[in-house]
Copies of this chain bind each other. A is one copy, B any other.
Amino acid sequence: MSDFSREEAEASIQNAKDLVIESLAETMDLYGVTRSAGTLYGTMYFEGDMTLDEMRAQLGMSKPSMSTGVKKLQDLNVAKKTFRRGQRKHTYIAERNFFKFFSDFFSDQWKREANLNLEAINKAQMQLNETIEDRSLPEKTWKEAEKVHQILEESKPYYYWLQNLAAMLKSGELIDAVPSSREQK
């Protein structure tokens, strides 16, 4: 219909990619990844494996930036080192399976969150018990300790729930339990 030239068509393809790269980068912001690492991921998402120099050429940034960016993406398990035959430079490829990313990312994060907080709660409760059991103290003081103890106790079910959710996610159970079709039941 509109009869593109080859150059126009290629620019149009790049433009289409950029729309999605932008949106992926904005999303990754929410996952604690800087905008530039997010853009790097988006770029890799559409390419095959890439060298640091190819990344730098695409993004117009320095090589150390690419190096640290790739490392961050590797930490997040969304980029992997690959081997390209006859290529001296290292190459990296983006993980395109978002289900895998979601499972890895949130199961780790939630497990860590639950453990961290439960540990702090347990330490705090043990310390509070010393005050609670000391009946020589004024009522106001040990009542306060009891109140704090109680608040902490009431938060535990949440962290247990979070641990269970993380385990369900890790095992794949949660992925399977939710439909991935457009229509919702």
- The segment out of A23-31, A57-65, A85-93 that lies at the interface is A23-31
- Asked if A20 is an interface residue, CB under 8 A from chain B, the answer is yes
In the complex, which residues 66-124 of chain A have their Cβ closer than 8 Å to any Cβ of chain B? Answer: 96, 98-99, 102, 109, 113, 116-117, 119-121, 123-124
* Tally of this chain's copies: 2
CB distance from A47 to the nearest CB of B (A): 10
CA gap between A134 and B2 in the complex, in Å: 8
Q: Are A3 and B99 in contact (CB under 8 A)?
A: no
A128 CB within 8 Å of chain B = yes
A167: B residues at CB distance < 8 A = 184
- Would you call the interface of chain A mostly helix, strand, loop, or mixed? helix
| Shortest distance from the beta carbon of A94 to any chain B beta carbon, whole Å | 11
A120 to B15, CA, bound (A): 11
Query: Residue A127 contacts which of B15, B27, B125, B161 (CB distance < 8 angstroms)?
Result: B15
Question: For residue A165, which residues in chain B have a CB less than 8 angstroms away from its CB?
Answer: 178
Could you tell me which residues of chain A, from 38 to 68, have a CB within 8 Å of some CB in chain B?
A: 45-46
A-B contact pairs, 20 of them (CB 8 A): A4-B131, A4-B137, A6-B138, A9-B137, A9-B141, A13-B131, A13-B148, A16-B145, A17-B124, A20-B120, A45-B151, A46-B148, A102-B158, A102-B162, A160-B182, A161-B180, A164-B178, A164-B179, A164-B184, A167-B184
